[in-house]
Copies of this chain bind each other. A is one copy, B any other.
Amino acid sequence: MTDQTLWQSIAGTLRAEIAGGVRGTGDRLPTEAQLSARFGVNRHTVRRALAALAEEGLVHARRGAGVFVAPARAEYPIGARVRFRQSMEAAGRVPGKRILASESRPASEGEARVLRLSPGETVHVTDGIALADGAPMALFHAVYPLGRLPGLPKALAEHGSVTRALMACGVPDYVRVSTRISAVLASPVEAGHLKVAPGAPLLLSEAVNATPEGVPVELGFTRFAGERIALTLDHS
């Protein structure tokens, strides 16, 4: 085997042990010396395999303490209808939300263009944290066209769920129009909210939701904690 195949094969074995439940969340992996002995390779090769697993978010190294199995990433399906609460519930997790700020103000130029508003029309903006089982999964910044959704601020406060609040405002259904996904690093403030290290990797999603007739009802910027959640796309 080449060096590359070797560490990949070791990473694959450890990955399978984690996926198969042989090693559970929070378990400490054997030391580098123990893994070297088990696989009959040098420590450099073991280190490369562990680094690969760490990059995938399967394990975390804690300085001086060892390498531990990380909690599995939540999977969040991005498709024709994207619903955080329903997806988390379907995955057996308890969804939650904490609002950090909300206000109504004139739309910026970019917001007006995407939401198809006239310049200066009012948008309602909410910033908050989306939770699963109490753990912060994402920071969201959502922009709503207030003129199309009278009563939205009150409905959001009452219902918690965006889907239900929109329903209360006369939007019984909404569909995802477009999603743009990039990777960014957590700023210190974002890291504090998301309980990750500053500089941790985030998935930034810029998305537009509209009524089935194509009238935009939400422009959302969401920063997902890369180590806790993965976006899944089903193309079938």
Contacts of A224 in B (CB 8 A): 183
B56–A230 CB distance below 8 A: no
Q: How far is the CB of A172 from chain B (nearest CB, A)?
A: 19
Contacts of A176 in B (CB 8 A): 233, 235
Task: Confirm or deny: A35 has a beta carbon within 8 angstroms of a beta carbon on chain B.
Answer: no
Task: Confirm or deny: A31 has a beta carbon within 8 angstroms of a beta carbon on chain B.
Answer: no
What number of A residues sit within 8 Å (CB to CB) of B?
55
Docked Cα-Cα span, A160 to B181, in Å, equals 27
Q: Which of A1, A105, A183, A236 has the largest number of chain B CB atoms within 10 A? A: A183
Q: Which residue of B lies closest to A4 (CB)?
A: B101
B201–A181 CB distance below 8 A: no
B180–A79 CB distance below 8 A: no
Known A-B contacts A56-B184, A182-B226; the reply to A5 vs B105 at CB < 8 A is yes
Docked Cα-Cα span, A196 to B176, in Å, equals 32
This chain's copy number in the assembly: 2
Contacts of A80 in B (CB 8 A): 235
B180–A231 CB distance below 8 A: yes
Contacts of A64 in B (CB 8 A): none
A230–B79 CB distance below 8 A: no
A231–B181 CB distance below 8 A: yes
B5–A180 CB distance below 8 A: no
Known A-B contacts A183-B183, A202-B201; the reply to A234 vs B178 at CB < 8 A is yes
Docked Cα-Cα span, A187 to B61, in Å, equals 14
Residue-wise, chain A 88-125 has the 8 Å CB interface mask toward B (1 for contact) of 00000000000001010100111000000000000000
Task: Confirm or deny: A199 has a beta carbon within 8 angstroms of a beta carbon on chain B.
Answer: yes
Contacts of A179 in B (CB 8 A): 232-233, 235
Known A-B contacts A182-B57, A184-B56, A226-B183; the reply to A110 vs B232 at CB < 8 A is no
A-B pairs with beta carbons under 8 Å apart, 13 shown: A4-B127, A16-B108, A55-B190, A177-B236, A179-B235, A180-B231, A181-B181, A182-B203, A182-B231, A183-B184, A183-B224, A184-B226, A185-B201
